[in-house]
Homo-oligomer: A and B are copies of this chain.
Amino acid sequence: MTVDALDLPTAGRFVGRVHRFPVRVYFEDTDFSGVVYHANYLRYMERARSDMLRVAGIDQRDAFATGAGVYAVADLTIQYRRPARFDDALQIHSTVEVLRAAACIIDQRILRGDELIAQARVTAAFITPDGRPRRQPADWVDAFTRLLPTP
């Protein structure tokens, strides 16, 4: 069976330097209070970051498999503005704000249409498989640089 493009998961897309990634809220994401469980927004944001890297041409699986390294969240701040609910179609907007040798800072916003559901600032550090900080691969830095605001 060849897989039709219609049957591939979306990786989102860049509009300017903002990566947009769609997410549907399923049963698993909510809790008995009727809204999305707060920790699950972090799962949404991680999916968006992974696919932002994919669209930017960065292969995380290969980097881990070859022992180059992997991103780990070092620091995260999130403000929850409004609750999202079962069946909502959300968008995650991700923007690389700061690029350092061994880390980058990403602004992420979760939206339902025009409404801001949550906003976060995430520091992702590049580390070796055994956990020590390491410079990001040069071509990754190039890929990120293209995503940064023009000074």
Contacts and interface: CB of A to CB of B under 8 A. Distances in A.
Interface of A: 1, 3, 6-13, 20, 22-24, 26-28, 30-35, 37-40, 42-43, 46-47, 50-51, 60-61, 64, 70, 72-80, 82-83, 85-87, 89, 91, 111, 113-114, 129, 131
Q: Is the interface of A mostly helix, strand, loop or mixed?
A: mixed
Pick the 4 closest A-B CB pairs, nearest first: A39-B42, A30-B32, A9-B24, A61-B87
A42 B50 contact: no
A72 to B, nearest CB: 7
B28 A39 contact: yes
Contact of A47 (B7, B26, B91): B26
A50 to B, nearest CB: 6
A9 B23 contact: yes
B46 A38 contact: yes
Contacts of A26: 43, 46-47, 50
Nearest to A48: B26
Given A7-B20, A9-B89, A13-B6, A33 B75 contact: no
Nearest to A90: B9
A86 to B, nearest CB: 5
